[in-house]
Structure 1
């Protein structure tokens, strides 16, 4: 944790020749996620160091527009047709599991969310809608195959 020892962080930054305003900004940025039980991640290189993976590998994941880190296979659907399953490479799966273990697992789930939440069930979700005057049910066709490449930036608030 950066904010657990700001003096050591600052001393290390000074030894590397980093300017004081940059060190101040890094410490300020680190305090928010760490206050919420998440690790501070200041740069992609910092993330690579924390995950103990190569910076070059993480850059290849971030820049991958072709899905090179996934292996596709297909399974049959009940209604005919096929469903594409994309399995991450062993290295990418390790990165994803680190993110789940070190960042996401410690974050509270929104009270309205029932999917994949420990202690919640389909039954409990259905009870929230019992007795409603109406229910809107929809299916987004090929949601997981949708092309989201036009979305360039995401901001995650922890």
Structure 2
């Protein structure tokens, strides 16, 4: 916590505030789907989004995903995910 607080140049109390009261720091919007249903969108408020972006770019983007990961990996597609399952009778998608 100390390292993150120092790196973000934010007091620990601010980080804890966002960590434990996270429902208060998201903007909720309902959007109609083309199929007729409703999609619920929750987007972080500006300050929380800035923290999340910093963590993503400074920490998470530098980590290598598992070789088995295909989703949300740059340069990978749904075809890359499907290829190892080609010819299988069943595929469990969770």
Q: TM-score, normalised by structure 2?
A: 0.86
Pairs aligned (count): 94
Bigger RCO of structures 1 and 2 (CA < 8 A, at least 6 apart): 1
Q: RMSD of the TM alignment (CA)?
A: 1.6
User: In the alignment, which residue of structure 2 is the partner of 1:56?
Assistant: 13
Secondary structure of the residue aligned to 1:75 is strand
Q: TM-score, normalised by structure 1?
A: 0.54
C-alpha separation in 2, matches of 1:59 and 1:104: 20
Determine which of 65, 69, 75 is the counterpart of 1:109: 65
Pick which of 97-106 and 47-56 moved more: 47-56
**Alpha-carbon displacement from aligned partner over 1:30-58 (angstroms, at most 9, x marks no partner):** xxxxxxxxxxxxxx243122111232221
Report the Cα offset of residue 124 of structure 1: 1.4
Report the Cα offset of residue 106 of structure 1: 0.8
C-alpha separation in 2, matches of 1:131 and 1:114: 19
Query: Which stretches in structure 2 are left out of the alignment for 5+ residues?
Result: none
C-alpha separation in 1, matches of 2:6 and 2:91: 48
Task: Name the larger-Rg structure.
Answer: 1
Query: Which stretches in structure 1 are left out of the alignment for 5+ residues?
Result: 1-43, 139-158
